[in-house]
Each structure stands twice: as C-alpha cells, then as structure tokens.
Chains A and B, each alone.
Chain A
Amino acid sequence: MTWIRLAWNNLARRPVRTSLTAVGVGLATAVAVSLGGFNLGFRSAIARSIEQLGFQVMVMAKGCPYEAATLMLKGGTGLLYLPESAHEQIRTDPDIEAITPVFLGVAEKPAGGMDEELGAPAFALIAGIEPESYRTMKPWLRFQSGPGYDGGRWFSPESTDEAVMGFEAAQYEQRKVGDLLYLSVVPHGRSEPELHTFRIVGVLERTGSQDDGTVFLPLRTAQRIFGREGQLTIVGGTLRQFNAIRMREFEGRWMSIPEVQVVSLEQVKGALVSLVGTAQTMVAAVAVIAVIVAMIGVLNAILMSVYERTAEFGILKAIGAERRQIFRLVCLETLLLALSGAVGGSVVAVAGVRLTDAALRRLLNLGVSQPMVLITPRLLAVSILGAVALGLLAALWPAARAASLRPVEAIRGQE
C-alpha cells in the first residue's frame, strides 16, 4: 500500500465526478497552453513572414502604410501606384544596398482552377518582377525538381509569354513545367477582359511565404497586360546599414516626394505585434476565466469528497493517521486530479495545434504565413506545473478541514 495508490483509489470511488473535474482542468490547461503557444509563436511568425519579404524598407504610393504592408504579406494588391521613375531615383540613394521593383495585380483564371468545377470564380495573384534583383532580395528561392518539374528557371526580363509559379499556385492549378497557364485580365481603363497565355518555365519550392501562392511574370509584361506601363506597386530595398538613424535619414530624403511614402518593415512588425496584443489580452482573459472555473471545480470536487468522507477521516485518524497525513492525503488526491487533467489538456493542445493555428489565422487574418502557435516543452512544463499549483491551492481549504476533524465527532457525525 502506498500513498499514491490510496489517493488514486479514493478518486476512483467517484469516477464521474473525478472525470468531469479532470476534464475541466484539462480544458483550462489546453486553453492556457494554446494561448501560451500563440504568445510564443506569433511574434516569430510575424518576424519570419516579414523577413521572407526580403525587404527592409518598402517605398510605395501614399496611403495607409500598414494596409500596404499587410496587402504585401497576404498577397493582395494596392490600389495606388507610384511612377517607375521612383525606382531609378531610389536606386541612386547612398544608403541603398539592393533594390527591386514589384508590380502586383490580380487576374481571373478562366480555365484549369479547381474552384471552377464548383462554379466559383478563381483568381491568381500576379507579381511582375525583375528576376535578377528579386533573387538578390530572396536568395532562398529555389526551383522544384523531379518528374514534371526538372529544368525550372526564371524567365528573361524581355519575355512576354513565360511565367514562374509559386508552389501552392502550381499545386492548386495542377501545373508543371512546360504547361500552359491562361490568365484573364481587365486592363486599366477598359471594361472587357483580355485572355493571355503563358508557358510555365519553373515552379518554386515551398517557402512558407506569400510567394507560394503567386504567379510571377516579367515586370514589363505584367505592367503591359494590366495597362499600367511605367507604374509600380512597391519598390523594395535593403540598406547598407539598417539602423534607426540610417532609416530616419533615408525616410527624410524620400518622404519629401509628394506621392511617395517609405515604410520600414520593423515599423510594420511593431504595428502588427501591437494589433495582435489586443487580441491576446482578450484571449488571456478567457484563459484566466477558464482557469478560475477549473479551480472552483477542483475545490468543489475535493470539498464534496471531504464532506462525504467525514466518518472515514475519523476512522483513519483512529487507526493512526496524523493531521498532517490526512492533509497530505487530500492534497495528493488533488495533485493527481490536477495532474491527470493538465497532462490530458496538454496532449489535446499539442494534438490540436493546427486547428488552433487555423482558428487564430481566420480570426486575426494578418496574412502571416508561418505557424502562429508554437508549443515548446518548456511551455508544457510551465502549464502543467501551474495547473498543479493552482489545484493544490484550491485543495488547501478542504485538506485543512479534513485534517482538523476530531475522530470521535467525525465518526459520530456520519453514523
């Protein structure tokens, strides 16, 4: 006979109550673990997503800078354009290390999309780029290999009928190297769409970024088919020395141009983090309520158990149990209850991490492509220990009550 076996047997006497209480603790732990994972994951997810843009600064037409940055992250298009001459001007800036022009547009896919079978319109995000400078910004981009993908390459800047597809875009369209891609575009100033045909010359490997869902065209071709020759959506760049002073000086030089604004992606990161911080506070409040409810559940279950077993505690004292042993027994029962619930809740949180990530993604819709929930062993350990500690806190009163029972009165009280 051991203390643990005795405590476990006592819990097993009321299986429904014990299970329900453990489920309550488990749910609270699952919420706490998921929230903690979100806390840990979202900052690095935002940071990684922004890093994968490859830029330190973006120069774009005046408007809401965060909206523009979010559109870039999510793969949308800005309504505002800046003249291509800005690119040439910024290229000469002494702080600029590398620079690339980007034109973004949305095309309708008249054939081949999966959604077409359901009758829903399908759209493709088009990025007009200069391959050489774009690759300088994103050296991690690689072409997929294997049957149907071998021989992938970038198009030449002058090409008019070649395209490169991101990993997910190609999967979605079921396209491989050498296949044709049809895009329907309504040019600027026109109302009727024009159909364009491109040959796929490369499919990129998965990057976990917005590039995965993008169809890349040569910059000039993209500008032409959208009827926006000489216009850009953004100019992305990296600075020779990226620090606050250099950034301020760079901004100062280019903000003076009336139609242009400069956005530091550090600023965007800060804005997104603070935006999510509000949501985090709300979710944290829910988690705190869940934990309090679970604690009350534990307190209720253990207190009921102590009341029901009043005579039994009297007997245990009569046959030799000391006050502290009774106190310890009740605490041990609570510890086992809280521990089993907390471990179960942690398993649920780990198993459901993708679901949680998807739910948060849908709720916050930040366009962050990296996983937003990061559950670490340390987080699990802290959550389980926290649940056990709170459970023990809830057990103090019932345990003290059981320990203070006088054997004669306890036995007489329930006979």
Chain B
Amino acid sequence: MDAPLIIGRGLCRYYRRGIETVRALDGVDVTIGAGESVAVVGPSGSGKTTLLNVLAGLDAPTGGDLWIGGRPVRGLSEGALTAIRRGFFGYVFQHFHLLPTLTVAENVVLPLLFLRRPLVPNELQRVLDAVGLADRAHHLPRELSGGQMQRVAIGRALIVRPRVLVADEPTGNLDSANAEAILSLFLDLVAREGLALLLSTHNRDLAARCTRILHLKDGRLWDPQAPVTKT
C-alpha cells in the first residue's frame, strides 16, 4: 500500500480576535491517501476551510504535527511551505479566481510559469479535454458560465499534475446541475489519475458520493454514527 500523502495529528489552529482566542481547529487527526476522495462537511464556522488550508500547506498549524508527502512541515517558513506545496497540490476555490484578461488556455497554464516548467506537448489539450473545455481554449472568462469557469479553475489545478486536489466549496457558486457535473468531474479525475481529493462542501448529497466524509463542528471531528452521550 502507498504511504499516505497527508498525515495530521492533533492539528490545532488558534486565532486571536481581540481578547478572545478562536479555536478554528482543535486537535484534528487526519490521514489522506492516494485515490481517496474526502469530503469535509459541517456548518458555517465549523473550521472546514481552515482544515483544508492547514492540510494543503497554505496555513501553518499552531499545534500538532503535519506531514505532507512524508515531509514534516512543523515550524517551516512560508518560503519552505511554498516549496513543499508547489506541484504537490492543485487548488480550486469557490470564487474561481481566474485572471480576467487571460484566455482559458492561458489561465490553465499559468501555474507552469511560476513553477518554471515548460509546457509538455499536448499537455494543455489533455487538461482541456479532461475538463471538457477543448472548444473554449481561446475564450475569456467573462464569456463563460459559472460551471465553465470552475472547470477552468480545475484545469489550472490539474496542469501541474498534483498529487492532491484541494477544493474549497467548489460548487458553492453553482446551480445543482453544474454542481453535480463538477463533482462528477472531480471523482472521475480521482479514478483516472489516482489523485487524492480533499473538498469542503455544505451539500451532504455531494459529500455522500466521496469515499470518506469528515464531519467537523467547532473545530473538531465528530462521528455522526456514534451514540450521543448525555452528561
């Protein structure tokens, strides 16, 4: 069996808000392996985005231990974290965040510029085919629907051939049909490319299609099947 891609033990992320300490994550244990699709669900403010950011190396935990690709990240500088996550993660955000003056193709290949990687022949076509936008390569984002824009964002994440696809509320701005289609695309990529998928969502139906669901509440994981204990 392959080694886990991400291991988190006792992960905490505390914020100071005035005199108050916000426990966005409070002792979370997570292990994610290749080929897994993991949905993080929970109410607003439960810490879903914080968990994704910490597991994806975008944010540093204030407590606990984290290994990404087998490398410990505790105490690393932002630069060192950047080096670890470059090419390892592909990110998809709720608001797409495409560059408006770049075409679909240019948005997709943008990360290669930062990674100083040349564009492998047919790689762009492969990605555009994968996200179903081969006929939209030269369109600008404003000429696309919401679902198409999210597909561009997924293509941008895929171009670096990541090990883990991180998607924070990727269907939050889409109607139900587009949301279904995007999730199907994610799951298809996981199956075909052997990626791990880590996504947060409010939509329990979509989450149910993933191989695993992490329930988060007040910064802690909980098991909805576990018997409720009255104190």
Contacts and interface: CB of A to CB of B under 8 A. Distances in A.
A44 to B, nearest CB: 48
B62 interface: no
A154 to B, nearest CB: 72
A9 interface: yes
B101 interface: yes
A408 B53 CA distance: 7
A318 B88 CA distance: 11
Interface string A263-278: 0000000000000000
Contacts of A5: 106
A320 B97 contact: no
Nearest to A11: B101
Given A319-B91, A319-B156, A12 B101 contact: yes
Contact of B95 (A13, A408, A415): A415
B1 interface: no
Contact of A322 (B82, B90, B94): B82
Interface stretch (B107-115, B129-137, B143-151): B107-115
B44 to A, nearest CB: 13
B114 A312 contact: no
A310 to B, nearest CB: 11
Given A312-B99, A407-B58, A411-B93, A317 B82 contact: yes
B123 interface: no
B99 A3 contact: no
A293 interface: no
Main secondary structure of the interface of A (DSSP, over half): helix
Nearest to A404: B78
A318 B162 CA distance: 13
B86 interface: yes
Contact of B114 (A321, A406, A407, A408): A321
Contact of B113 (A3, A12, A315): A3
Given A319-B91, A322-B79, A9 B99 contact: yes
Contacts of B78: 323, 406
A322 B116 CA distance: 11
B160 interface: yes
Contacts of A323: 78-79, 82
Given A318-B91, A319-B111, A320-B86, A9 B101 contact: yes
B100 interface: yes
B43 to A, nearest CB: 18
B87 interface: yes
A408 B59 CA distance: 6
A10 interface: yes
A349 interface: no
Given A1-B110, A9-B102, A318 B58 contact: yes
A316 interface: yes
A311 interface: yes
B4 to A, nearest CB: 22
Nearest to A8: B101
Interface string A1-28: 1110110011011000000000000000
B102 A320 contact: no
B178 to A, nearest CB: 20
Given A1-B109, A408-B53, A319 B101 contact: no
B101 A13 contact: yes
A254 B158 CA distance: 94
Nearest to B117: A320
A147 B149 CA distance: 77
A12 B156 CA distance: 22
Interface string A340-361: 0000000000000000000000
A408 B54 CA distance: 10
Nearest to B156: A319
A3 B113 CA distance: 8
Contacts of B86: 320
A408 B101 contact: no
A325 interface: yes
Contacts of A406: 78
B67 to A, nearest CB: 20
Contact of A320 (B59, B87, B106): B87
Contacts of B157: 319
A13 B93 contact: no
Nearest to B106: A1
Contacts of B111: 319-320
Contacts of A2: 113
Closest 9 CB pairs of A and B: A320-B114, A9-B101, A315-B97, A321-B114, A319-B111, A320-B86, A408-B59, A320-B111, A318-B91
Interface of A: 1-3, 5-6, 9-10, 12-13, 311-312, 315-323, 325, 406-408, 411, 415
15 contacts: A1-B112, A2-B113, A6-B110, A9-B102, A13-B100, A13-B101, A318-B58, A319-B110, A319-B111, A319-B156, A319-B157, A320-B114, A407-B58, A408-B53, A408-B58
